[in-house]
Structures are given as structure tokens and as C-alpha cells.
Structure 1
Amino acid sequence: MASITLDKKTWLKHLGQFQSNINDLCLIVYENPSCLGYGVGYQTHFYRMFEQYPDASNVKAGKLEVSDLAKVCTFLKKCDGMVTMKQTNGGKTLYVYQGNLKLSMPVTDIKSNKIVKNYEALVKSAQEDDWDSFGADDYKVSARTKLAEIIKLSGLSSLVSKNADYRVSVDTDAGEISVSMGKQHDTKVFAVSHLSDIDAASGNHEYHSSFGPWLLPCLSLVNPNMTSRIHFGENTGLVVRQTSNTVQRLLIIIDQQV
């Protein structure tokens, strides 16, 4: 039986971070050290997260399959303090409870987990290649940055037209990564983050790639206050990695094929 008890705010941080098009999640509980992990995979992006919780209680390794994130988040908002989730091995029911307040939910097909294994295989190859490539993408620049200013754009999408263009650019000479959204001769919004520890291929110093409206919701999944390691190239997707003593976060955003 997989189980773990965490603070209500911690649960909401993980389960409430996704856009409405992602409404299920397969959580993996680890022991020694106590850790919560999960991954979601779509044609637009792959997101993988591990975070240690050494003070967690009732920790038993296994899967916790959340079939309806919206319902579980609504329940969590009515809870106070520590909340336990558990699911029996091979069980068809997820249990969430705090004191005398309890929720049971049938476990159904987890759509967000369908192609995670495919992404994981590509990630393994990319790691072995020291992130010089991912699938068909060849990355020409790697650097450290904080994406706080760029992440602010996710709350400004209403300022641009529905068919806006989304573009990521890296200028290694200026030491900047920039994101723009909007159409030419119409309202456009830009944000810039400075780069450090730049490792770039010789020759070209500017790289550009186009994305769809999924770019900003995806970027909002990373922690704006953590330093990120990015990998990027000409007409490639964008890789964002964040690592600390207790957190490992990987985000791969697929570019728009033009």
C-alpha cells in the first residue's frame, strides 16, 4: 500500500500547478529518503519532478494515481494541516484524508502518463550525451539563468491576440535569453533573463525557435527563484533543468515545427 502524509500546502503545490488540460497525475512515493516524484508527457512538453520530504510520515513506497486533480484540489482546500494519501497495491481506489474528513476516488486511466516512458528513454540518451542533443534536436548553447522575469509573461497572455507568435531567442554575446509573444504590427510583450556560465558552440552567437501557446504555461512549472540550467539551439525545443539538495526538476518544451 503506497502512502505518504504531507502538509496541505505541499499537496496543493504539486497537484494544483497544472493547467486545466492536465487533470490527472501518477505520483511515485519513495522511501529512504522520503521522496515524491512524478512525470507528465504530451506532444508539447515533458515535465519530471522529484522532491525529498525527510519529515514526511506514513511513508510507504508505491504509486498514487490521481484520476481527477481538480476534485482532489477542491477537497484539499477544505483540509487543515497534514493530509494523507494512500492506495493499495493494484487497488482501484485512492484515499485522501485529514482527521474525520475523507475522500475516496476511483482510479481510472492516467492520460498524462501515457508517453512518459518514451520521453524517459530520450532523456536517458540525452544525459549520456551531456545534453548536447535530445532526439533530433542539437543544442548549441548551455547556460545558467533565473527565469523569474520570463515566467511573469504567463499572466499576460490576455494582452496579445489568440493567434500570437511565441518566440525564444538566445544571444550569447549579450548573455541573454528572451521570450516574446504577439504578432507583428500588433501588441507584443517581451521579457529577458541574463545568462551566466555560458557554454556555446563556436560560430553563430544567436539562436531562435518558435513555439505555440503552450510555451508560457509550461515555463510556469519551474521555480522562478531557483537557478536553471538551459539547453537550446537553432529551431530546437528548450530544456530547463533545476537541481538542489532536495529537488530535481526537468522541463522539455517542444518547439513548433515551421
Structure 2
Amino acid sequence: MSKAASKAKATDTALEDIEIELFVRALKLRHGYDFTQYAPASLRRRVLQLAHAHHADTVSALTTRLLHEPDFLPLVLEGLSVPVSEMFRDPDVFKALREQVFPVLASYPQINVWQAGCAHGQEVYSLAILLEEAGLYERTQIYATDFNEAALKHAQEGIYPAKEAQLWSRNYLAAGGSHTLADYYSARYELIKLDQRLRRNVIFANHNLVTDEVFCEAHLVLCRNVLIYFSDPLQDRTLALFRDSLVRGGFLCLGTRESLDFAPSATDFTPVDAARRIYRLGSRNAGKE
């Protein structure tokens, strides 16, 4: 690449960065959604993907639509969030929860679980199935939250492409499932619908980890593959939020690419299974009984 071409590319990138900054500021000022503390590289990639998906020549064109088209906001939030998951994702994590966490949860007369950043709900239903098989679901309340209303609606419906069922069935067995996954859904055309009984103790609710406060008093908090999209200060804030939400001795489960190792909150938790990112709130902390 010639020097002139390199300079032109650098100029284009700089202008694009300005446009993205203005877009994020407009989203916050116009609609109250704050993405300023998301990891810059990830946010940049998603904004540019959003522009491409909506045939916008520039990010500024996206900003114009965001400011003047109320119906455009849900599409923006859908594009900027990352509602990608699968049932029993990282099955060894779910197996560890079943073997190392559920026996402790069984000692409580009532169990509260907070699934933060629930996306399209696959992991919520995965947890419900394993709790059912462990005989704990009847006394468990699962709070499944996300800031993306479209994702929450999808999660509440519990309808997914049938093509995913084979992978999910393998994940279920690897997670220690004691039946077959087909026992928990009905298939029709090219879709599967999870059994309604799995939703009986699930409350889906809008909650924004960036701006909202403690959601519930929980014995187990799961927030998997969300913190990787946050800046370090926002990660610290979110981990403190989880700490303050947990009862003393409560459990925190993060994504396999996430860790407490370098976070100030690390001193509040004891690793239960560090490889699978399962931690327990230490007794020395001012947690709740």
C-alpha cells in the first residue's frame, strides 16, 4: 500500500471513529442506553455490522435513523447486543454446577437464581432442566434478565430451529442429563418448542447491567460470555453488582473466557472450579444470609 493510500485509510478510520462516538452518544442521549463503557473493538465491529445490515453508507446515516425513527431502536439494540448461545453451552460447566453447586443449593428451602444477560433463553432452559432432574426446580425461582426486549420475547417463546437439536442433545448428555433432551420439547416443521413446564418458575425481565442496580437476592448468579464485551471499569461495576446480589456463600458462574483474576472483586470470592469459572462469595464478606 502506498503512503497516500495508507494516509487515506487512516483518515477514513479516524472519521469512522468519530461517527461511532457520535452514534453511541446519540443512543445514550436519545434513548437512555449507555454503550460508552463497552469494549471499543467489539463495539466498533458491531456498529459497522449494523450499518452493513441496514444498508447504511455511513455510521452517520445510522445516527440519523436512530434519532428520527422510533421503530429503529429495537433493531439497533438487537444488533448491538450479542444474543448468541446454545443449550448446555460448555456442557462441562453445567455438569460442574450439577455436581458441585446443586448439592449446596439443596440445603436452602427456597432457591433464587439470577441469569443475567439471558439472551434468547437457551441457558435458562438448560438450567431449568438440570434443576428439574436434581429435584430442586419446584423450590427454585429463576430470574432471567436482559436489556434487549426482542431477545427477551424470543426467550419467553422458547422456540428454536430444529437443526440445533442434535448438538443440544449431545451437550445435554455431556452435562450429565439423565433422560433425553427430546423429553423436554415438541418438534413441528423445522422448529422445536420447549415444554411450557420449564417456564413455570422463570420470570423474564428487562435489566441493564450498565445502569441498573441489584436485581434480586440470589443464591446463584450466572452471567456467561457477557463481561468479555465490557471495558475493565464496567466489568468491575458488574462484578460488584453480582457480589451485592448474592447471599453469603452464594455462587457466581462466568463464561469460560472470563475470569476474576485481575478484578478488584477477586478478593470477595473463592474459586470453586476455577477452570470452569465457578466462584463462591467468601464468608468474610458482608453478604446476606
User: When the two structures are superposed, what TM-score results if normalisation uses the length of structure 2?
Assistant: 0.26
> Which one has the largest radius of gyration?
2
Structure possessing the higher relative contact order (Cα contacts under 8 Å, 6 or more residues apart) = 1
Q: When you count strand as a share of all residues, which structure comes out higher?
A: 1
User: When the two structures are superposed, what TM-score results if normalisation uses the length of structure 1?
Assistant: 0.28
Q: When you count helix as a share of all residues, which structure comes out higher?
A: 2
